[in-house]
Structure 1
Amino acid sequence: MSNQEINKRYILQEYRRLLIKSESQKTRLSIINEISNTINSLTNLEDIFKAVVTKLKWILDYDSCSICVLSEDKNQYIIYTCFDSKKTLSLRDNQVQLGCGIVSWVMQKGEPIIISNTKEEPRLDVFNDNKVFGEDAKSILSVPIRSEEQIVGSLNLGHKRINAYSDEDMKVVHLIASQLSVALKNHKLLEQLRKANRELESAKKNLEVQIAKRTEELQEAKEKYRVILEINNSIVSHLRLRDLLPSIAQIIRKKLPFDATSITLYKAERDVLEIWALEVPFSPHSLSNLAPDLEVPREGSHVGWVIDNKKPLIVYDLLKNQRFSQDSILLEEGIRSYIITPLIIKEKAIGTFNVASREPSKFRVSDIEFLSLVAKQIALAIDNAILYEEIEKLKNQFEVESVYLQEEIKTEFNFEEIIGESRVLKKVLKQVEKVAKTDSTVLIRGETGTGKELIARAIHNISMRKDRPLIKVNCPAIPPGLIESELFGHEKGAFTGAISRKIGKFELADGGTIFLDEIGDLPHEAQAKLLRVLQEREFERVGGTKIYKVDVRIIAATNRDLETLVKEGKFRSDLFYRLNVFPITLPPLRERKEDIPLLAKYFAQKYINKLGKQIKSISEETLKRLKEYPWPGNIRELENVVERAVILSTGDTLEIKDIFLDFQRHTLPGNKSLQSLEDVEREHIIKVLNQTGWTIHGNRGAAKILGLNPSTLRSRMAKLGIKKPKLLQT
């Protein structure tokens, strides 16, 4: 296969990508293909240039089209110009010294340029640029022509009207310029061949050597560009980095045999290089010390040297030369020689691409050039892959947060504001205001139904983290076997049923606040891992080894006596002290009697609006009765009592009778045997359970009537020793 055919195949591959853009681009592509065929069918440079500028007119309007070719000494360029205003073609050449002007700027900078109005362009050189674009040109488009990373000329368009060219036009001109680079390269090769033929008479033997050498170079170049093309195709079809290396390794091995290859990425925050992908085909047990996810320190390592110096490293025989700490490990694993090339993006080394062999002196210096080209493609792929994975991660996190926040909107709490004017409540709110401005851990204590979650939300909403999520975790509602997975997440396959990776609550709360409700019911085995997060602000997913750091503010709440639990060995003392940095104790409703009328009116209005009732007031007798009741269920119980009263009310005045309140248990005059709060709570829960037939869940269940989550009610029942009668268990 000839060199021209190889280049043609490469160019056609590039053109195919344009087909998806629009139907109009198909016409452009057809013309570009014609230009490509023309270039491959002609050998004379001027004939090629004439054909190009003629066919280019079919897809891009211009008043002048020129091709400038840089001289061998890079000091001047030759202008081949076509002025086509009268639809006639003329071609002339001029030699211009490289210096001032737009064309000189494009060739020196190696960058394309669009000038929408030449009158506003200070870099324009009238003498030199008029030869290229014409004296009347108002719009200019100039693109450099590259060959083997060198600037060899430029393709230039001029138009008599302003704003004639767009970025899309520039892309088309870029493609034509890449074809012209092939023509210039072929022309250069042809000139070399002619020169060789002229010397044939005097040095036939020398010429045979040169031809053989040149043939070998061309064959190597052919193979090299074929491999690069295959790698590009592989990169397009593999967005995930870990899937990319096996495909690339298989392609490279066809040209450069090796026994192992890997990609490392530099992690600046830890000053290490992480092995992201590893391909070891010769033995599944080999290189056990270099498994993926292994971190290699930058300082003193071979990959670190490449990162620091931004240039390749070749080692011919590790048995004779061991400069770095990892060399002895590689030698033990059977590696004798290797090449490490830097992965560079925007002049920054982001990692390394490495190939190794069990044979000494397997690689040559010439292989470095080839692998450096491969490394450039891999670096671009990695940059895209990392961006893709970050986008996927943010997308997944957003979806999880969205679902979580939608569920939070439906939460049982629906207070619009904190209601009350009592001294004890104002004291609590002052504490909230002070601690909210800090990142200190808060422990909210209080009986069931006193509004602990509401206070937690208040702290979050006036803190610096208010724009990030508040993630709630109801500790007793999570089965003990899943508590770690719920808090810290798990990797795919971490346990039976873990069919996909899960992000834990701490990871979701990163940058925000996590609210650990009923922390006193957290299983003892999970307390140690929670303590680590509190101390180090880091954790590992279940089934994983990677350490994740989080910036999260922790608020915990409990209605249990943690000090007693510590003494009983049911709660870790070190965890208690970590949580108890800033304790806030919420008063029970019976200690806020002056707030009961305000709360009652607030809840009454809430359910009057919701149910469409025509109630105008609450009787004084009702308010007095509410203030006398001890409210073992606190604010939740008060809300439920008011809601039931609004539902059953038929007049315009809300009346709450004794039937709604358990006065017989708590307020009988002359009752000499006063009960403890636990006894009151136990009897009240049993009464509600009897009324509901011991049904806990549902709109008519005991949990709904008591204003508790079903899991919280079950926890209270266990603590108070409440068990379902055997007669009802059948």
Structure 2
Amino acid sequence: MSLSITSLANIAIDLQNGITHQDRFARLIRTLRQLLGSDATALLRYEARQFRPLAIDGLAEDVLGRRFALDAHPRLEAIARAGDVVRFPAESELPDPYDGLIPHHSDLKVHACLGLPLFADQNLIGALTVDGMDPAQFDHFSDEELRLISVLAAGALNNALLMEQLENQTPAANAAPATGKTGGTEMVGLSAGIEQLKKEIEIVAGSDLNVLITGETGVGKELVARAIHSGSARAANPLVYLNCAALPESVAESELFGHVKGAFTGAIHHRIGKFEMADNGTLFLDEIGELPLTLQAKLLRVLQYGDIQRVGDDNSQRVNVRVLAATNRDLKQQVLAGQFRSDLFHRLSVFPVHVPPLRERGDDITLLAGFFCEQSRVKMGLKQVVLSDGARDLLRRYDWPGNIRELEHAIYRAIVLARAGHPEGELLLQPQHFQLADAELKSLPTAAKTHPLVDNLRTATDDFQRQIIIQALDANGGNWAATARQLQLDVANLHRLAKRLGVK
């Protein structure tokens, strides 16, 4: 059946009724999926030669966290280049980015695929993708009907982008329009905590205030610093990084302020310090709580007067540097304990920014898992990396004491384990591929506890054996004979047990 005027009018009405841009986009693709009878639809934003999903329907939740680079996805590149409706033939050899990512059809390839590029003033701003499992699913819709849909969607997306631009309009944004999210500063997530963090970054980036970034290890404090710098009027100038925890006290002053030739044994050349490198830019001092007290006093002087003095030099010079500092410590407690200067603390924390731990970010865990799956897939040259329902559930239940860094490493390890048995490069990550400590798992939802006790016992026993085998294999470099000896099992019995548990 063809699209009626009424159905197109309903799309337009839906786009007006949404309270937020996200709500309008969700209504749009939900309505489109129903009208076109598709198995999956997605609205993608185009930026920096990649497509970023804004709303999905009928696709795995982690797709929202994936970033589809044109260089790695020839179908999406064809849509970006087309300028009009794209219909991919069922026998197309171009891999579909959503293969394995449509729930209930994860073992099947997408057969019907439409791409509708979205334009504003002849500039590509996004795309709609419509996918189905039946090769003839969309044959009865004309290109003209599909073009009308793309015009409606493009108008809605362009309005959202213009509103976003107006909301974020600051002198800094106008001075450096080419920075922003394309420089590796995008924060993946839609939770309330991460949305609040993004707002705080937007507020403080346009000022020239010093910022203290707090949060646990692995939450992404350096990413926050890069985002603040990218959104500032200093974005065209250097962002210089210094890890205070890695500085021996004997060289810390030279690292910060530089030295002149002959200042000390081994000083055979003049050397500029991090402050001079960051002149007119930003200096990011990571793990600021580790800075020795003697250097804290000298850092305070720079923040107060803008003067630095190289080691061994009688002359001082002025620098114009914005300081961003980060710590996973409680600096207030360190001040009370006499381990951190109170005056420096107040100078640095003019605008404190707290980065929430991953365990407080809810569904962001799934989005980040999808982000790292796609990143690893491209880096490792794999055809497909898909998370099973069980794997997604496990990742949500885990407490992530190491936060985002631990999640990234867990995804990478799981891919390495899964790839060992799939040289063709189409991977489905299962719970057994993740080596996560049981002590850090949250309780199962109530519904999952209603199974008979015997089932729970069998599942728990299998999970325990699976983890032990995987850990032993990892410790023995994948050598099955050595693993059998460590576990005091006959190697043939170990192979049979591993096969039953899904390890092999």
TM-score with structure 2 setting the length: 0.50
Larger radius of gyration: 1
- Higher RCO (CA < 8 A, seq sep 6+): 2
TM-score with structure 1 setting the length: 0.35
